[in-house]
Structure formats: structure tokens, C-alpha cells
């Protein structure tokens, strides 16, 4: 276990790898208006460390695990990886990682709940983004990691910073640092099984050994079991109206009615306990979260991909939200905040996201939703 002022330098040295030339380290920090992005040359990790230390004195800081090839935070800004990684939030996380066939090169305690950590494995040769996400998924399934956080563009907390979501703020620590541990992709994924099914964290896959019946059930594609269980068939985009409520936006498409994104679009019978955040006009929350000015046309260059022409539309109606016709990302205030922060929209991530958005949008006018 390592401690001290050099932990951040060690962490950044692993992220920079052996070929940092012409690539960037992405640093994000929370501000009252959303997330701020900063980029430093990967060849100058000392500059990144100085920036992180300065920001971490007063707010949450995150770093892109993969180096960026341009000043952008999306997957399109990444091209390869010399690291595999997962997030894990299990009481016995340390034991699981230590007993794994390939112990991690580096483990960071995130300063969240006990057992919440992220682990990194160095690779002898860089791999493609598709290979990376497949490897991450296999590791997450075996070790009980977060399957929603295996994407290449993931941002995570660096060591020596603080988790300001805790009261009092808790320290993010470098728990394991073994730079001599390097693996081939085959070594790392040997015997990890098929990554094509994605059990949720409450499934048997994350509680221990998976029975043959579990494995067969979890391997059934969602496109097969959803129609069988709900009687509803997804459209070409893989979307259906949610079977757990009766809200609908009334915007017909070739595949049916789009799912509701706000109570403003629901029938009056369904407006029993509206979520005020879903009633905030998209131009208002988009400007506050991103700092970008939404003009009368509602069109912007998308910040999630290399958008040469404005393809992101911010609609005036809360129920329509925002949508990028270039990369297909879109949704509600929650979807935007989750993408900007690199967090999920389920479980504890969603609870924290909702609390932060409530404070940002309504300040002291409201204390709870």
C-alpha cells in the first residue's frame, strides 16, 4: 500500500504509458454551472498533477483513463488503450482483486463507500477501443464490477484528491501500485467467458458463482426476452414505451410512440407527483450544465463527438429534451448530467446526480425532491 505526495505522479505515469506523444490528459472538475474540462499534454504529467492538485482543494476532480488525441472528452477522441480497467463496489473488492488470476497493476480507493474502488491492468501492447470495452466487460462480470462503466471514455477520480460528495470530504487513495505487472490481452481475459450478456449488479453474476441456469438465462438477448415478457416489440432503434408506467409523449414515430421524458408530456391522470427537474426547459439546463449558449435555433455543435456542423438540437419543450443527430446521444437533464460527469443513471449514482441537479437548479429554494 502506498501513500504520499508522489501517488498522483505514479498514477499519471501509468495513464500516460510509454507513448504519450501528441496526446492529452483530460481533467474534469465540477463547478456551480456544471463540469469544466481542462487538457494538458500527456508528455507533461507534472502539469496535469499541478492542475489536479489546485482544483482538488475545493471541488471534485476526474481524469479520463484513456489519453485523448484532441481536446474532446468523448469516445471519438480516444483511439487505443494500454490499460484495461473496471469500477467495483463490493465489500470484499480488495479480496476479489487480489485473488484474481491477473492482479491489477493499480487500485484506487475512490473515497466513496467501503469497497468502492477502480482497478487498472497494464497491457504489453495497446488495444482497440472495441477490444478494450470487451475486456473491461469480461473483467467486470468476473469480479462483480459496474457494467455501466466499462466504456472507453470513462473518467475516474485520481488519488490525492477528495470525494466532496461525502461529509466530511473523504480522500481518494492509491491502494496498490505495482508497475511491473503487465499482461497480454489473452492473459488478462483467459477463462473470463462470454461478455455478450450484461447482468445487473444485483444478479447472481455479481454475488459469486453462476449456475448453468443463470448463465443460460443471462445469455438471452434483451431483444428476445423483452417481447416475450412484455408483449412489446422494440423499434429499429431498440426503443419501446416503458411497461412500468402509462406516460407517453404523443410524438409518433415509425416504430411507435416515444417513451415519456417528462410529466409535461404526460396525460393529466399521470401528473400525480411530477419531478420538477424534468420540467426545467432544456435550454435552461443545457446552458447551466455546459456553459454553452443556446441560441434561438436551438442548434449546437455536439461536445460528445467531432461535430463539424451543428447537429445537436436543444428543444424548448421539456419532454423533447435534447438530441444529437450526429452521434445519437440525447435525452433529459439526467442523461446530459450523467454524460458530462461520467456517471450512471441508476442506483446511488442517480440519487447523487439528482441531489446535485436539484441544488444547481433550485438552490436554497428546495431542500428535497
**Same-domain check for residues 38 and 179:** yes
Residues with Cβ within 8 Å of 232's Cβ and at least 6 positions away in sequence, in order, are 226, 240, 241, 243
**Same-domain check for residues 37 and 143:** yes
Give domain status of residue 176, yes or no.
yes
Q: Has residue 207 got a pLDDT over 90?
A: no
- What is the rounded CA–CA span in Å between residue 248 and residue 241? 7
Q: Say what the pLDDT of residue 255 is.
A: 38
**Same-domain check for residues 26 and 123:** yes
More confident residue, 213 or 295: 295
Q: Which of 156, 189, 222 is the last residue of a domain?
A: 189
Q: Quick one: pLDDT band at residue 130, thresholds 50, 70, 90?
A: very high
Beta bridge partners of 81: 127
Give domain status of residue 358, yes or no.
yes
**Same-domain check for residues 167 and 52:** yes
**Same-domain check for residues 50 and 150:** yes
Give domain status of residue 159, yes or no.
yes
Q: Has residue 231 got a pLDDT over 90?
A: no
Of the candidates 12, 8, 37, 42, the one whose C-alpha atom is nearest the C-alpha of residue 25 is 42
Give domain status of residue 148, yes or no.
yes
Per-position DSSP letters for 265-320, written without gaps between them:
GS-GGG-SS--GGGGS-HHHHHHHHH-----TT-EE--TTTT-SS--EEE-SSTTT
**215-224 confidence digits (pLDDT tens):** 677 777 777 8
- What is the rounded CA–CA span in Å between residue 335 and residue 148? 13
Cell 412500468: give the residue: 244
Distance from the first to the final alpha carbon of the chain: 41
Q: How far is CA 78 from CA 67, 125, 130, 151, 367, in A?
A: 7, 16, 11, 11, 39
CA 88 to chain centre: 13
Q: Which of 125, 159, 189 is the last residue of a domain?
A: 189
More confident residue, 319 or 25: 25
Give domain status of residue 30, yes or no.
yes
**Same-domain check for residues 170 and 72:** yes
Cell 391522470: give the residue: 269
3-state secondary structure of 131: helix
Give domain status of residue 235, yes or no.
no
- What is the rounded CA–CA span in Å between residue 327 and residue 320? 17
What is the number of domains present in the chain?
2
Residue 49's domain spans which residues? 7-189
CATH number at residue 291: 3.90.580.10
**Same-domain check for residues 38 and 175:** yes
**Same-domain check for residues 184 and 289:** no
pTM: 0.56
Q: Has residue 204 got a pLDDT over 90?
A: no
**Same-domain check for residues 172 and 298:** no
Question: Which string of b and e fits 301-332 if b means at least 16 CB within 10 Å?
Answer: ebbbbebeebbbbbbeebbbbbbbebbebbeb
Give domain status of residue 195, yes or no.
no
The average confidence (pLDDT) of the chain is 80
**Same-domain check for residues 56 and 163:** yes
**8-state DSSP, 137:** H
- What is the rounded CA–CA span in Å between residue 300 and residue 326? 11
**237-283 confidence digits (pLDDT tens):** 666 766 554 333 333 333 333 333 333 433 333 333 357 888 888 89
In the chain, DSSP finds a helix count (H) and a strand count (E) of 10, 17
Give domain status of residue 239, yes or no.
no
Beta bridge partners of 224: none
CATH number at residue 99: 3.30.70.1790
State the cell numbers at 16.
500516460
Mean pLDDT of 2-27: 89
Q: Which of 189, 215, 242 is the last residue of a domain?
A: 189
Do residues 41 and 131 lie in contact, with contact meaning Cβ atoms separated by under 8 Å? no
More confident residue, 230 or 96: 96
Q: Say what the pLDDT of residue 66 is.
A: 97
**Same-domain check for residues 182 and 279:** no
Of the candidates 147, 165, 134, 169, the one whose C-alpha atom is nearest the C-alpha of residue 89 is 147
Amino acid at each position: 500500500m502506498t501513500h504520499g505526495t508522489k501517488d498522483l505522479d505514479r498514477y499519471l505515469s501509468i495513464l500516460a504509458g510509454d507513448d504519450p506523444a501528441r496526446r492529452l490528459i483530460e481533467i474534469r472538475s465540477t463547478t456551480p454551472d456544471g463540469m469544466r474540462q481542462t487538457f494538458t499534454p500527456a508528455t507533461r504529467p507534472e502539469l496535469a498533477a499541478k492542475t489536479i492538485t489546485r482544483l482538488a482543494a475545493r471541488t471534485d476532480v476526474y481524469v479520463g483513463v484513456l489519453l485523448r488525441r484532441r481536446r474532446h472528452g468523448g469516445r471519438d477522441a480516444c483511439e487505443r488503450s494500454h490499460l484495461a480497467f473496471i469500477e467495483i463496489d463490493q465489500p470484499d473488492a480488495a479480496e476479489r482483486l487480489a485473488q484474481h488470476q491477473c492482479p491489477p497493476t493499480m487500485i484506487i480507493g475512490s473515497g466513496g463507500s467501503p469497497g468502492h474502488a477502480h482497478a487498472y491492468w497494464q497491457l504489453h501492447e495497446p488495444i482497440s477501443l472495441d477490444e478494450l470495452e470487451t475486456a473491461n466487460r469480461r473483467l467486470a462480470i468476473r469480479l462483480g464490477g459496474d457494467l455501466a462503466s466499462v466504456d472507453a471514455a470513462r473518467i475516474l477520480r485520481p488519488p490525492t484528491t477528495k470525494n466532496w460528495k461525502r461529509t466530511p470530504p473523504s480522500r481518494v487513495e492509491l491502494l496498490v501500485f505495482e508497475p511491473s505487472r503487465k499482461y497480454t490481452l489473452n492473459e488478462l481475459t483467459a477463462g473470463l467467458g462470454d461478455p455478450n450478456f450484461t447482468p445487473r449488479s444485483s444478479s447472481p453474476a455479481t454475488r459469486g458463482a453462476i449456475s448453468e441456469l443463470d448463465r443460460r438465462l443471462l445469455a438471452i438477448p434483451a431483444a428476445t426476452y423483452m417481447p416475450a415478457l412484455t408483449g412489446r416489440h422494440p423499434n429499429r432503434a431498440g426503443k419501446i414505451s416503458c411497461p412500468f408506467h402509462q406516460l407517453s409523449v404523443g410524438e409518433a414515430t415509425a416504430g411507435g410512440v416515444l417513451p415519456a421524458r417528462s410529466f409535461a408530456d404526460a396525460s393529466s391522470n399521470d401528473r400525480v407527483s411530477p419531478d420538477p427537474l424534468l420540467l426545467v426547459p432544456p435550454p435552461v439546463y443545457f446552458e447551466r450544465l455546459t456553459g454553452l449558449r443556446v441560441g434561438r435555433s436551438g442548434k449546437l455543435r455536439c461536445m460528445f463527438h467531432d461535430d463539424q456542423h451543428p447537429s445537436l438540437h436543444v428543444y424548448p419543450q421539456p419532454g423533447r429534451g435534447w438530441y444529437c443527430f450526429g452521434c445519437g446521444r440525447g435525452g433529459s437533464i439526467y442523461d446530459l448530467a450523467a454524460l458530462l460527469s461520467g456517471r450512471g443513471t441508476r442506483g446511488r449514482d442517480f440519487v447523487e446526480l439528482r441531489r446535485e441537479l436539484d441544488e444547481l437548479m433550485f438552490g436554497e429554494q428546495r431542500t428535497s425532491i
